[in-house]
Amino acid sequence: PVVVTGEKRLQDLINILARGFVEFANARTIDNSDPSSPPKHFEGWNDLMTGLLASMLKLLSSNSDVMLPYVAGLIPNFLVVCSVSSQPDDIPSQLLALQCLVAVTHLPSTQRICKAHKVTVTSGLGELMDHPSVILRRAAVHTRNVWFMLE
């Protein structure tokens, strides 16, 4: 709660959370043939990504004002998490990323941002329609429908 942490401290923590998520999402797309680039996966990567996404989902759902400055930068990275892999270990983080994409559309102040990303999101979710996981396919269809309905 804000009372315990203070407004400035809360903003600092959310900034770290958002930047950390973006760095981890982008690390998955880096070419591993370059020895200076970080590895795409390391022990515990999926657990860390799941924790970051669960934290963001909670913030998007309960305290939307603090996440507003980051929404435009987070949306493309949610798509990166969804589209990178068809490995079973990645399904929890992909499901959370889809839930975050839905939660973003329900924030009152993000309608303009969501409309700007609508085509990218709806087309980006298309590749999940062929995912081997039925649960992930259903979640992708739901998310895509939510984004199609944006006016």
If one counts every other C-beta atom within 10 angstroms of the C-beta of residue 29, the result is 12
Q: What is the pLDDT of residue 38?
A: 46
pLDDT bin (cut points 50, 70, 90) of residue 87 is: confident
Give, for 38, the enclosing helix (H) or strand (E).
none
The residue whose two tokens read 């493309």 is 76
Contacts 24+ apart (CB under 8 A), 88-95: 88/133, 89/46, 90/46, 91/133, 91/135, 91/136, 92/46, 92/50, 93/46, 93/49, 93/50, 93/53, 94/128, 94/136, 95/135, 95/136, 95/139
Task: Give the global pTM.
Answer: 0.85
pLDDT band, residue 6 (cuts 50/70/90): confident
The residues, any chain, with a CB within 8 Å of residue 73's CB and separated by 6 or more, are 18, 22
96-140 residue pLDDT tens: 999 999 999 998 888 899 999 999 999 999 889 888 899 999 999
Integer Cα distance of 98 and 92 in angstroms? 10
Q: How far, in Å, CA of 121 to CA of 144, rounded?
A: 8
